[in-house]
Amino acid sequence: MILIQNLNKSFGKLRVLQDLNLDIHNGKVTAILGPNGAGKTTLIKCLLGLVKPDSGSLKVNETSINGNAEYRHQIGYMPQIARYPDNLTVQEIIEMVKDIRGNPDETDEELYHAFGLESELLKKFKTLSGGNRQKVSAVLAFLFRPSVVFLDEPTAGLDPVSSSCLKDKIKREKDGGKTIILTSHIMSEIQELADKIVYIMDGDIQFEMTTSELLEATGEATLERAIARKMKGIAA
Amino acid sequence: MNTLKLIKYQLRDVLRSKWVFLYFLFFLVATDALFRFGGDGERVILSMMNIILLIIPLVSIMLGTMYLYNAREYIELMLSQPVKRSQLFIALFAALVLPMSTAVLLGVGLPFVWQGAIFTHAGSVLFLIFMGISLTVIFSSIAFFIALMTEDRIRGLGLSIVLWLFFAVVYDGLILLFIYFYSHYPLQQPVLILSMLNPLDLGRIALLIRFDASALMGFTGAVFQNFFGSTRGLLIVFAVMLTWMATPLLLGFRRFVMRDF
């Protein structure tokens, strides 16, 4: 459960988020969409505590985010570009994050096996390909069974097999009652995964509907067309 | 606890890259070579002083800036874990400064040990190494501050070079100019204060006085000798060096805790 109230953030003169209100419910996949530079990543970074909002309140599972770090035990995050220390091996990186999370017993290694990362364990991070870096980052996002997972363009750079592994994982976690927030530019992927679409433009929410509602309301077959039509309607 | 864990992994990463080792090797070879080219302890210390005052600030400020820029995505990832910003900052700084200081300590110290000069010049060698480590801390803090204030890498690195040039070259030029223009006035006090404001000058003068080379500096040298030679002067040197270490570090820390990533 995520509650965002009157969220404001400016970078200098640029107002990135303007008085944004949003509720995100448990057990759903929520897709945050919008044109480039609309404030999607900034919104996610506010929820992670990476970006400090100018005003407004943010709550994740009833805990206010006010510079405390403990609530992040409940959060998994897969960024657009992940970079860990270059000279550490994959094994050491996983070990490090486990160590910081207090070495919980019940880790979720499903993705790790699905991706076949065993063969990469002893390679240094700097020698990994872009796709394998994404895999490490995805594994870490789900490893500690967080109740909220943020995925920023999760399938970018993944091969089709790994990409569908990840999508299956997302569906399973949703059915298990996890809250999943994702951004992507691949509309077919959103159509496949998301229960709810939140469309952001100019720092505010333009519309917020379930995927099926959106398709019905616009009478289009694909999400890409539906959003294009919807945005035309708003502009007019 | 988290801080120590972070230091452990970060340190492992830093030690595996070759530059710390090269840095150590540079001091080791330079010090040993100076002995072999016929210097006695005293002369090696004076030559090493010049090398240290030039190289350490340059390497510390450049490496420190690049190190923090390179850690940018890593910082983002770690801050999305249950890690406090203060913990991560301390870990990042420690994992840079500890290996670099150790490189200075061992690189300069070891040749003195195996050449046997450590026994006759223990105080001076320790003072030299102390200055080296202080300069490492000072210029790494400045580097962190620059990298946290400037979003653009190229501009940050440029600023680092300019700042080093200022402290290493331009500042002395300005003092000479000042002395030249006001040569009719008694300048000992103002020059003393001005040299305190530059950690490099302060280091150089404190070392020269320590090594009794102040006779080379004429009347000003005598004034400096009076000041820096006393216990009170030495304490002030320590205090100023400490201020130089703490100020940019605290500013950088504040920035790190407040800023957006």
pLDDT, greater one: A151 or A66: A151
Contact between A164 and A152 (Cβ < 8 Å): no
Q: What is the pLDDT of residue B100?
A: 95
Token pair of B246 as six digits: 């703490």
What is the mean predicted confidence (pLDDT) over B61-89?
Answer: 92
pLDDT (tens digit per residue) in B206-216: 888 777 665 56
- Chain B residue with CA closest to A96: the answer is B9
User: Whose structure tokens read 């400064």?
Assistant: B97
Q: Rounded CA gap, B1 and B257, in Å?
A: 19
Domain extents in chain B: 2-258
Do B81 and A48 make contact, defined as CB atoms within 8 angstroms? no
Indicate the residue type of B29: V
* Contact partners, residue A67, CB within 8 Å, separation at least 6: A49, A52
Q: Which of A72, A88, A99 sits opposite B80 (nearest CB)?
A: A72
User: Whose structure tokens read 């002067």?
Assistant: B233
pLDDT, greater one: B177 or B189: B177
pLDDT, greater one: B40 or B59: B59
Place A60 in a pLDDT band, splitting at 50, 70 and 90: confident
Enclosing H/E stretch for B187: none
In the sheet where A63-64 sits, what is the strand order? A14-24, A2-11, A55-60, A63-64
**pLDDT at residue B253 tops 90:** yes
A chain contacts of residue B2, beta-carbon cutoff 8 Å? 100
Does B78 contact A at CB distance below 8 Å? yes
What is the mean predicted confidence (pLDDT) over B73-79?
Answer: 91
Q: Is A185 helix (H, G, I), strand (E, B) or coil?
A: coil
Domains located in chain A, CATH noted? 2-235 (3.40.50.300)
* Contact partners, residue B161, CB within 8 Å, separation at least 6: B62
Token pair of B65 as six digits: 């800036």
Do A85 and B5 make contact, defined as CB atoms within 8 angstroms? no
Q: What is the pLDDT of residue B165?
A: 94
Averaged pLDDT of chain B: 88
Does B135 contact A at CB distance below 8 Å? no
Contact between B112 and B32 (Cβ < 8 Å): no
Q: What is the pLDDT of residue B117?
A: 80
| Sign of the CA dihedral with A96 first, then A100, A101, and A105 last | positive
DSSP sequence for A117-149: GGGGTTSBGGGS-HHHHHHHHHHHHHHT--SEE
A chain contacts of residue B68, beta-carbon cutoff 8 Å? none
- Chain B residue with CA closest to A146: the answer is B81
Averaged pLDDT of chain A: 88
What is the mean predicted confidence (pLDDT) over B81-87?
Answer: 91
pLDDT (tens digit per residue) in A127-138: 999 899 999 999
Q: Rounded CA gap, A88 and A143, in Å?
A: 19
Token pair of A105 as six digits: 């017993």
Most confidently modeled range among A24-38, A170-184, B89-103: B89-103
Of the given ranges (A195-199, B3-7, B124-128, B211-215), which has the lowest mean pLDDT? B211-215
- Chain B residue with CA closest to A78: the answer is B77
Q: Which of B73, B82, B260 sits opposite A81 (nearest CB)?
A: B73
Q: Closest Cα to residue B35, out of B136, B132, B120, B134?
A: B120
Phi/psi at A62 (5° precision): 75, -5
Q: Which of A77, A85, A99 sits opposite B10 (nearest CB)?
A: A85
**pLDDT at residue A69 tops 90:** no
Interface probe for B, chosen from A7, A83, A150 (most Cβ of B below 10 Å), is A83
Q: Rounded CA gap, A100 and A87, in Å?
A: 19
Query: What is residue A79's DSSP assignment?
Result: -
Q: Rounded CA gap, B160 and A122, in Å?
A: 36
- Chain B residue with CA closest to A50: the answer is B261
